[in-house]
Amino acid sequence: MAMRRRDFLAGTAILVLSSMKSRAIIVSGGLPWTPDAGSPPVPVRPGPWHYFTADEGRAVEALADRIIPPDPQTPGGKDAGCAVFIDRQLAGPYGRAEGHYTRPPFMPGTKQQGPQSADGPAATYRKALAALDRHCQSAYQGKRFADLADEQKDQLLKSIEDGKTKLEGVDGQSFFTLVIKNTQEGFFADPLYGGNRDMVAWKMIGYPGARYNYLDWVERHNERFPLPPVSLIGRAEWSPKL
């Protein structure tokens, strides 16, 4: 059985393989195996935005830095790469809501029935960021969100979060919830996805990363685990230092 290596556009983090694109196989007699089988992750490469426009990118960086502000010990959302993470996610299957049930009719429902919009995350960001900047330009003498002072940003975001400030044409409250979620995902995900640069978030909390064997630590109760975090693409100590 051959597992196709999936060809990725540089920078797209995951390709969700819809089962409809796979070949059916008949398995009989023994377990299939081919060399290099499987689908390892492809790391995000730094570079220009894949999805965001320049303005959108600036706005999301600004949002990320308010959701996770920088402090002396740990970088904020922007420097940690959260906006890069979100950009690459929106450019890929997540942004397109690939795999979701997207048939009509689209009818508003109860909160318990979940999102019923035809828009995936990518479209939602595009609309909402535009609405956010338009709101700021009208409320703050022509300034976009990224140009506001930090206190102004925080005030505005709180007000959106509480439902007091509405954005035109979009549900500002649920958009902000989405940005918080995506920013925090990017902050804590494996660095190969573009955020959590140099594993800064994992270092902050003391999470040792993508490890597999803790058998020698299970019964060492209440002791700090000493090894540094490691990503799926390794850590500095993996390369011999000459």
Partner 1 sequence: MRNAARLSIVIGAAAAWLAGAELGMAGDPDGQAYDRIEKGRYLTTVADCFACHTVPNGGKPYAGNRPIETPFGIITSSNITPDNETGIGAWSDQQFDDAVRKGVRPDGSRLYPAMPFPAYTKMTRDDVLAIRAYLSTVEPVREPVKANTLPFPFNIRLAMRAWDALYFTEGEFRPDDRQSPAWNRGAYLVQGPGHCTACHTPKSFLGGDKTGDDLRGFNLQGWFAPDITGDVGQGLGQWSEADLTSYLKTGHNRITAATGPMAEEVVNSTSQYDDDDLHAIAAYLKSLPGQPTAAPARPEQPAMNAGEAIYRDQCSACHGLDGQGVAMLFPSLAQSSLAHASDPASAIRLVLRGGRSVATDAEPTAPGMPSFGWQLDDAQVAAVLTYIRNAWKTSAAPVSGDAVGKAREQLSTRPD
Partner 2 sequence: MPRKLPKKDVVIIGLGWTGSIMANELTDEGLDVIAIERGPWRDAPTEFPTNYVQDELRYRIRHELFLRPEQNTFTFRNKIDQTALPIRDWGSFMPPNGVGGGGVHWNAETWRFLPTDFVLRTHLTERYGAAFLPEDMTIQDFGVTYDELEPHYDAFEYLCGTSGTAGNLRGQIQEGGNPFEGQRSRPYPTPAQKQPFSHTLFAKAARELGYKPFPQPSGNLSQAYKNPLGLQMGPCTYCGFCEWFGCGNYSKASPQTTILPHLIRKSNFTARDNSEVIRINLDRSGKFATGVTFVDAGGVEWEQPADLVILAAYTLFNVQMLLHSKIGTPYDPVANRGVIGRNFTHQTISSVNGFFDNKKFNFNPFIASGSIGMCIDEFNGDNFDHGPVGFVGGGYMGQVQTGGRPIQTTHVPPGTPKWGAQWKNAVRDNYLSTVTPGTGVHGSFYSYRDVYLDLDPTYKDRFGRPLMRMTIDFHDNELKQNAYLTDKFAEIIRAMGAHTLDKAYRKGPYDATDYQTTHLNGGAIMGTDPNTSAINRYLQSWDVSNLFVTGASAFPQNPGYNPTGTVAALALWAAASIREQYLKNPGPLVHA
Question: Cα–Cα distance between 139 and 149 in angstroms, integer?
Answer: 13
Q: Which of 20, 35, 48, 205 is the binder for partner 1 (CB under 8 A)?
A: 35
Lookup: tokens for 169: 């044409």
Instruction: Check: CB of residue 140 under 8 Å from CB of residue 148.
Output: yes
Q: Taking CB within 5 to 8 Å according to partner kind, which of partner 2, partner 1, none is near residue 238?
A: partner 1
13 vs 97, which CB is nearer to partner 1? 13
Q: Shortest approach of partner 1 to residue 45 CB, angstroms?
A: 15
33-42, long-range: CB < 8 A, 24+ apart: 33/1, 34/1, 34/2, 34/3, 36/5, 37/2, 37/3, 38/3, 39/3, 39/5, 39/6, 41/13, 41/14, 41/190, 41/192, 41/232, 42/8, 42/12, 42/13
79 vs 98, which CB is nearer to partner 2? 98
- What SS3 state is found at 234? strand
Instruction: Check: CB of residue 129 under 8 Å from CB of residue 120.
Output: no
Question: Cα–Cα distance between 235 and 223 in angstroms, integer?
Answer: 23
Pick the stretch among 72-80, 88-96, 127-135, 227-235 that binds partner 1 (CB under 8 A). 227-235
The pattern of x and - marking residues 183 through 222 that bind partner 1 according to CB under 8 A reads ---------------------------xxxx-xx------
Q: Which of 134, 143, 188, 198 is the binder for partner 2 (CB under 8 A)?
A: 188
Q: Which of 70, 109, 169, 234 is the binder for partner 1 (CB under 8 A)?
A: 234
Q: Taking CB within 5 to 8 Å according to partner kind, which of partner 1, partner 2, none is near residue 202?
A: partner 2
Task: Give the Å distances, CA to CA, from 7 to 4, 46, 60.
Answer: 9, 18, 28
Preceding omega of 93 cis (within 30 degrees of 0): no
Q: Which of 29, 47, 72, 240 is the binder for partner 2 (CB under 8 A)?
A: 29
201 binds partner 2, rule: CB under 8 A: yes
Q: Taking CB within 5 to 8 Å according to partner kind, which of partner 2, partner 1, none is near residue 114?
A: partner 2
Contacts to partner 1 from residues 129-158, by CB under 8 A: none
110 binds partner 2, rule: CB under 8 A: yes
Question: Cα–Cα distance between 211 and 136 in angstroms, integer?
Answer: 45
206 binds partner 2, rule: CB under 8 A: yes
Name the residues that contact partner 1, by CB under 8 A. Answer: 29-31, 33, 35-38, 40, 210-213, 215-216, 227, 230, 232-235, 237-242
